[in-house]
Amino acid sequence: MVKWLKAKLYDRKEPAFPLALFRMGFSLLFILEVLQMMYFRDLIFQQDSLAAEAPAFLSVLFALWLIALVLLLIGALTRPAAIVNYAISVYMLGFVTVNEANNWQVDSLFLTGAFLIMFMPVSACISVESLMERRRQARVRVRKLPRPQARFIHTSLLILLIGLFYLDSMLYKLSSSMYLTGLGLWAPASLPFTTYYDVSWLIDHHWLVLILGYSLLVYELLYVFLVWFKPLRVWLSIGGVLLHAGVLVVFPIPVMSLLVTVIHLAVIPESAYRKLYDRLLAAKRKHLTVYYDRLCPLCRQTVGILSALDICKAIEWKALQDFAAEEKLLSGIPEADLLHDIYAVEKGTKLHKGVDTYAAILRSMGWTFPAGLLLGLPPVHGIAARIYGAVAARRKLEGGCTDSTCGIGIAAPPEQAASVLAGKIWPAGTFLLLWGISFIVLSFGTPFYGKYITGEDSRTTAALRDTAAVYKRITYPVLGWSNHGVYTESHFEDYRFQTRLVYVNGDAVTALPIMDGSGFSRAYMVGRQWDHWAYATAHPGLPFEQASRSMLDYAAFWAERSGVDLAFGNGRIEIQRKPLEVSMDEFRPGLLKANMAQPWTRVGEITASGGELQIVMDAEEAGEAQATWREAVEGAG
């Protein structure tokens, strides 16, 4: 068994392109998440005070975090950048922003991904490091360079990342009447605060709702078992991309949807991308033929880099010593001139020389067209021509370019496979075994065992949940391993009303960008902040003290960002509620529109006193006497 696993996971190699795709997508989305945290940092860290600000050192930490992520994105200093990113992620996501009762699910994926990416050859291609390696190899090679390879075990880690996410989620869904009746996607979307706009056109068709709901169950249940078969992997990944494209359109959790999509794209074999490329993207014929000096190491290095950047393969690179005689437009040009300047023939009719050749190269590659256009215009063209002329003149004075006269020594980058997953298989095997055991232990925290095995109210069930909770507290901050009860009844079944804040100053009424008049999510309720408002601020079952303190934070943050000084009587912020009709397991067409039409009513207000904000509920005893936000709001209403 060990030998079989070693052959299938460890010794087996595949092109490294999908891992590079994961690196770029993961880093870009992490940058977006960090930017959102930076924007809301005063809200996240202040305490209901108009003067409160986030600690100054966090700005330095965020800047360092972004630098590490940008380096990861471009694939420069990849290993050190991955280590720095992981260390900051553990501190910020594992300890600072963590919520014991409800973790933001994307943090789990970011933490696990940040850990794995430290040991993956993610910069083997499409990176600054790979370009430098290509340049180094081109210095001594003339033939086409091989495509970078990576062990399949790295891809298997990404498969487990998303597959175990789905499987743990299924343990919640299989215990949920909402999902077992096929309404797992419909029920949340019928509540306005869970979406951006009216999606009745999609969710008011019972047959479509059932198809989508049951397809989700089947897909998430079978994914981790079927994805190992290479022919099925492409179709399962396409299905996952389509699934999360739908989530992206409907629900206000864009980074989470896009991150799971990136993981799906990263497990698709490189051969599938190559086939797609050959059919759709590859140029049917070369637009430009460039003639270079194959005896010149600097020229070979330049060709190595530019050919890697030529994604659409629109350029044909030919050694002038071998092919110049075949091109009629080059006939009559002395060999010394051909060696002095770089020449190119565009579409067989137009000859370019020197800087004009580089401008034509950039234009032909497509995605660099603006740079090529700029290089051909004054004054950039003139400056570039002088620089190119100086380099060419030096080559001519020194008798041409050879390894001894213009070769540039470039140190090889560290081996991409130099990690705990290289050399012997036991480190990787030990980690996989630990991951599997951890998944089983954490699954004790799902409702599956209580519903189907041990009984919901038994001591065994309570002990299993306690074990899972303790184990999660240990492993989550450093590895991101957690339960994934995403969009279950417990999130929505008690949501009999939703809450918003509205600034009132005389006759002017302005809704804070939390939700609009229909109750749809707005700027302050996207991604992490949507999760925070929906479950840690305005959920009806929250303790009144927690809900009121969090609302004061939002009010203080908005007032500071909007330049509104509530302390001097410049208006007030009203707390309003809108009743909701909730149906978790009975389809009701038009429910979303009915909830949209419900009127808002005032239940209290937020005022300033002595630089601090306070909530005053409309009922005399509502604020202090009631234990939960629901009781306070219903008492005030």
Residue 637: its pLDDT value, please? Answer: 67
pLDDT given for residue 44 in this prediction: 78
Residue range 162-180, pLDDT digits in tens: 999 999 999 999 999 999 9
Q: Collapsing DSSP states into helix, strand and coil, what is residue 631?
A: helix
**51 confidence band (pLDDT: 50, 70, 90):** low
* pLDDT digit string, tens, across residues 511-541: 999 999 999 999 999 999 999 999 989 999 9
Residue 42 banded pLDDT, cuts 50, 70, 90: confident
Rounded CA separation 593/201 (Å): 11
Which percentage of the chain shows pLDDT scores above 70? 86
Q: Provide the pLDDT for residue 262.
A: 96
Specify the pLDDT at position 490: 85
CA 153, CA 141: separation in Å to the nearest integer? 30
For residue 412, pLDDT beyond 80: no
User: Please, what sign has the CA dihedral across residues 226, 229, 235, 237?
Assistant: positive
Which residues make Cβ contacts (< 8 Å) with residue 630, sequence separation at least 6? Answer: 494, 496, 497, 540, 541
Segment 475-512, tens digit of pLDDT: 999 999 999 988 888 889 889 999 999 999 888 889 99
Q: Identify which has the larger pLDDT, 231 or 283.
A: 231
pLDDT higher than threshold 50 for residue 469: yes
Q: Can you tell me the mean pLDDT for 204-210?
A: 94
CB 606 within 8 A of CB 552: yes
Q: Where are the alpha helices (DSSP H) in 103-151?
A: 105-117, 128-138
Tell me the pLDDT of the chain averaged across its residues: 85
- How does residue 413 score in pLDDT terms, banded at 50, 70 and 90? very low
Cα-Cα-Cα-Cα torsion 461, 467, 468, 472, nearest 10 degrees, comes to 160
pLDDT band at 30 (very low <50, low <70, confident <90, very high): very high
Name the residue ranges covered by the structural domains of the chain: 2-271+424-479, 294-400, 497-579+600-636
Q: Does pLDDT of 255 surpass 90? A: yes
For residue 620, is pLDDT > 90?
no
**pLDDT for residue 5:** 61
Reported in sequence order, the residue ranges of 463-535 that DSSP labels E, i.e. its strands, are 497-505, 508-511
The answer to which of 34-38, 118-122, 133-137, 466-470 has the lowest mean pLDDT is 133-137
* Listed range (148-162, 348-362, 527-541, 619-633) with the worst mean pLDDT: 619-633
Rounded mean pLDDT, 434-454 = 92
* Tens-place pLDDT, residues 538-592: 999 999 988 998 999 899 889 888 888 877 667 889 999 999 999 998 999 999 9
DSSP annotation of 626 reads -
Band of pLDDT at residue 390, cut at 50, 70 and 90: confident
Using the 8-state DSSP alphabet, how is residue 49 labeled?
Answer: B
Closest Cα partner for 263 from 123, 164, 150?
Answer: 164
Predicted confidence band of residue 145 (pLDDT cuts 50, 70, 90): low
Q: How much is the pLDDT for 46?
A: 62
Bridge partners of 353, per DSSP, are 343
CB 298 within 8 A of CB 49: no
Contact of 535 with 21, CB cutoff 8 Å: no
- Give percent of the chain above pLDDT 90: 47
pTM above 0.95, yes or no: no
204 near 589, Cβ under 8 Å? yes
Tokens (6 digits) for 208: 């479509």
| Residue-level pLDDT at 106 | 92
The answer to whether the bond into 379 is cis (omega within 30° of 0) is yes
User: What is the pLDDT confidence band of residue 57, given thresholds at 50, 70 and 90?
Assistant: confident
Q: Tokens 């990416």 identify what position?
A: 117
**Mean pLDDT on 63-85:** 96
φ/ψ of 503, rounded to 5, equals -90, 125
Q: Which residue has the tokens 């925070």?
A: 532
User: Higher model confidence: residue 348 or residue 142?
Assistant: 348
- Asked if residue 26 has pLDDT above 90, the reply is yes
Handedness of CA 520, 498, 96, 106 (dihedral sign): negative
Average pLDDT over residues 460-469: 93
